[in-house]
Amino acid sequence: MPFPRAQIDQLLATASNGATPQVRGNALEQAAAAMFCSVPGIFPPVTNVIDYAIAGEIDILFPNLAPRNGLWFLDRAFLCECKNWNIRVGSEEIRVFADRMRERNCRDGILIASQGITGDAAMLTAANHQVARALEVGREIIVLDWIDLNAIRSARALVARVQQKWIQLKSFRTSVDQHQ
């Protein structure tokens, strides 16, 4: 599927300026789904699933065939959590996301946090520390923020950005960088 840039731009504008938090959050989830579905090997996602205990919701689960030109470095299925907040996502939300990944036996997760996450990436403090702790037990959380989303203009650029963050994570840094 081609990268639907116009649709994504419109959804990101709604995610930024929508009338209510729910409208903004839904638009961010739809933008994420449109972006990732343009990558070869990504199947239509499962969205907004409530878990068996009615204790939590999964924003998006992406099945991943993982061809050589797609997200080959991610597992056969990965979760995506969207946090379109005015503040950075904190440690507790990272722990909850890692736990949801564990419950579904998903090694990989993409956290789209519009304002990023708390703490210092170099010092692995606050939420950055929780990303590193998740990695220690086999959960790979890649964080994309608003700067990342606006810079991604194609499926190839999305794969390259996620792969860059994955490499940073695997080298035991968080997937947050200073957008160098």
Q: Is residue 180 part of a domain?
A: no
Q: Is residue 23 part of a domain?
A: yes
**Closest C-alpha among 76, 32, 74, 87 to residue 169:** 74
Q: What would the pLDDT profile of 131-170 be if each residue is shown by its tens digit? A: 999 999 999 999 999 999 999 999 999 999 999 999 999 8
Q: Is residue 177 part of a domain?
A: no
Q: What is the pTM of this model?
A: 0.91
d(CA 94, CA 116): 12
pLDDT of residue 178: 46
**Closest C-alpha among 149, 166, 61 to residue 105:** 61
The CATH number of residue 104's host domain is 3.40.1350.10
Count of C-beta atoms within a 10 Å radius of residue 145: 20
Task: Please report, as a single letter, which amino acid is at residue 54.
Answer: I
d(CA 57, CA 18): 22
Domain carrying residue 113: 5-170
d(CA 116, CA 125): 13
Mean of the pLDDT values across residues 35-46?
95
pLDDT of residue 69: 81
pLDDT of residue 88: 98
pLDDT of residue 170: 87
Q: Is residue 175 part of a domain?
A: no
Q: Which residue has the higher pLDDT, 57 or 74?
A: 74
Number of domains in the chain: 1
Reply yes or no on whether the pLDDT at 175 is more than 70. Answer: no
Q: Is residue 159 part of a domain?
A: yes
Q: Is residue 30 part of a domain?
A: yes
Q: What would the pLDDT profile of 1-15 be if each residue is shown by its tens digit? A: 789 999 999 999 999
Contact (CB, 8 A) for 127 and 119: yes
Sequence-ordered list of residues with C-beta below 8 angstroms from that of 90, at least 6 positions apart, any chain: 117, 118, 126, 127
Q: What would the pLDDT profile of 112-138 be if each residue is shown by its tens digit? A: 999 999 999 888 899 999 999 999 999
Q: Is residue 72 part of a domain?
A: yes
Contact (CB, 8 A) for 66 and 76: yes
pLDDT of residue 122: 83
**Closest C-alpha among 170, 148, 172 to residue 161:** 148
